[in-house]
Amino acid sequence: MSEAYEELVERAAALDAADELAKLRELFVLDDGVVYLDGNSLGALPRAVPARVADVITREWGELRIRSWFESGWWTAPERIGERVAPLVGAAPGQVVVGDSTSVNVLKAVVGAVRLAHTEGAVAARVVAPPSGVAPSGVAPSGTAPPPRAVGAPVRDEVLVDAETFPTDGYIAASAARLTGCRLRAVPAADLAAEVGPRTAVVLVNHVDYLTGRLRDLPGLTEAVHAAGAYVVWDLCHSAGALPVALDAHDVDFAVGCTYKFLNGGPGSPAYLYVAERHQAAFDSPLPGWNSHTDPFGMRPEYEAADGSARGRVGTPDILSMLALETALDVWEGVSMQAVRAKSLMLMDFFLACVEAYVPDGRVTSLTPAAHDERGSQVSLRCEGPGEAGEVMRELIARGVVGDFRPPDVLRFGFTPLYVSFADVHRAARVLGTVLA
């Protein structure tokens, strides 16, 4: 064995011995001999979930049947589970509701934000900007929402989306723009702060780029968007559960995210919607379903939106997936997001060091930023051999190292601190080096 190999094995063992999160690994179903580095696509199964789902099916559905909507708490699940997600994204109670898919929640958030901008614009067109600290009717108090524009200012008819966004977000943003009479502009994420202007209603941006793993500047961009008088919607799919997210602290307007990646909720588990408390009374969802009615069982023909986070509900929630998610979130009890972030960064640093040691020169190039404050929780490597990345990943999986491939040439490795060990990381890099050699 080489000296470098021995040194890296010892380093991995020392890091694992000092890892305060190592004990959480036993809470997940993981195969012996397999390194799972695809938690940024689908999180591993928490051990407690199968028994909970079995109970929901056999007892709550099989025996209690319709009674479970209230006796088993099915009806309140979207808000109740939203309160479990809220601390993981830095939100105070009453602002997160769980349900629907990320795509559906993107539509709600973007259209809702445009409607807020148009309402605020209509007010600004009728009144002179108020004295400091005094808001016109229908507008949130000064300091909590974009400032009113001067009389005669351009209508806000523009939706900005980061040009590198996950494709579905772009599709939904384009549809939202059509629905609201806006135009859509795709702008490189690095240029969004400079491009937002007096015509911008809302900016939709991914907190972590799905392809490269680059972390966006949530505090800085949110501040820039607000300074321009617009609203911001953050997609947290690749950050929630992997690093601290401080929605309230940075005055974010809206946020959405899935729960099946770093939150380990299971395939197709319901997503969540964050609407800042200051916007809830004026939030006009484009999908006013019976579940978000103030009197859902009154079956009235006229729609009247519920108060609070329930306004983000639409139709009957997916109870099986939702309650599986609720149990999956138990693994977060007592877990520090700062500890999760620290381990995530250490795992990535160690992986890159092992890649440098084991992978022949010139075979891969890292797309992941070197700076810690610009990283999510994944490493993306570009294969330099034309057309070989897919074949490389298939061979890695065959040898027990599971990541994923994004065409045409990117290998992605996600690092879930709750169950990935440093020994896993060492093995993955060594197998990668063997395959590429």
Q: Calculate mean pLDDT across residues 194-208.
A: 98
- Identify the pLDDT of residue 122: 55
CA nearest neighbour of 232 among 312, 116, 136: 116
Residue for token digits 């997600």?
A: 85
Q: What angle do CA 246, 165, 428 make, to 5 degrees?
A: 80
- Identify the pLDDT of residue 182: 98
Q: Calculate mean pLDDT across residues 347-354.
A: 98
CATH code of the domain made up of 3-30+336-436: 3.90.1150.10
Adjacent-strand bridge partners of 375: 214
- Identify the pLDDT of residue 121: 65
Task: List, as one string, the DSSP characters of 299-359.
Answer: --SS--BPSGGGGG--S---HHHHHHHHHHGGGGTT--HHHHHHHHHHHHHHHHHHHHHHS
pLDDT interval class at 211 (50, 70, 90): very high
261 labelled catalytic: yes
419 labelled catalytic: no
How many alpha carbons lie under 13 Å from residue 169 in its C-beta half-sphere? 28
Does residue 154 register a pLDDT over 90? no
Residue pLDDT, tens place only, 42-74: 999 999 999 999 999 999 999 999 999 999 999
Residue of 412, 422, 427, 430 with catalytic role: 412
Residue pLDDT, tens place only, 259-315: 999 999 999 999 999 999 999 999 999 999 999 999 999 999 999 999 999 999 999
CA nearest neighbour of 222 among 208, 237, 232: 232
What span, in angstroms and rounded, lies between the C-alpha atoms of 255 and 257? 7
pLDDT interval class at 379 (50, 70, 90): very high
235 labelled catalytic: yes
Residue of 28, 231, 260, 415 with catalytic role: 260
77-332 folds as Aspartate Aminotransferase; domain 2 (3.40.640)
Residue pLDDT, tens place only, 87-131: 999 999 999 999 999 999 999 999 999 999 999 765 444 333 333
Does residue 147 register a pLDDT over 70? no
Residue of 19, 169, 209, 235 with catalytic role: 235
What span, in angstroms and rounded, lies between the C-alpha atoms of 101 and 47? 24
Adjacent-strand bridge partners of 234: 205, 255
What span, in angstroms and rounded, lies between the C-alpha atoms of 290 and 272? 18
Residue of 166, 254, 274, 351 with catalytic role: 166
Q: Where are the domains of the chain?
A: 3-30+336-436, 77-332
Q: Calculate mean pLDDT across residues 5-19.
A: 97
214 labelled catalytic: no
Residue of 261, 343, 427, 430 with catalytic role: 261
Neighbours of 379 (CB within 10 A): 27
Residue pLDDT, tens place only, 20-39: 999 999 999 999 999 999 99
Greater model confidence, 150 or 382: 382
pLDDT interval class at 153 (50, 70, 90): low
CA nearest neighbour of 21 among 424, 420, 418: 418
Residue pLDDT, tens place only, 385-425: 778 999 999 999 999 999 999 999 999 999 999 999 999 99
262 labelled catalytic: no
Does residue 150 register a pLDDT over 60? no
- Identify the pLDDT of residue 120: 78
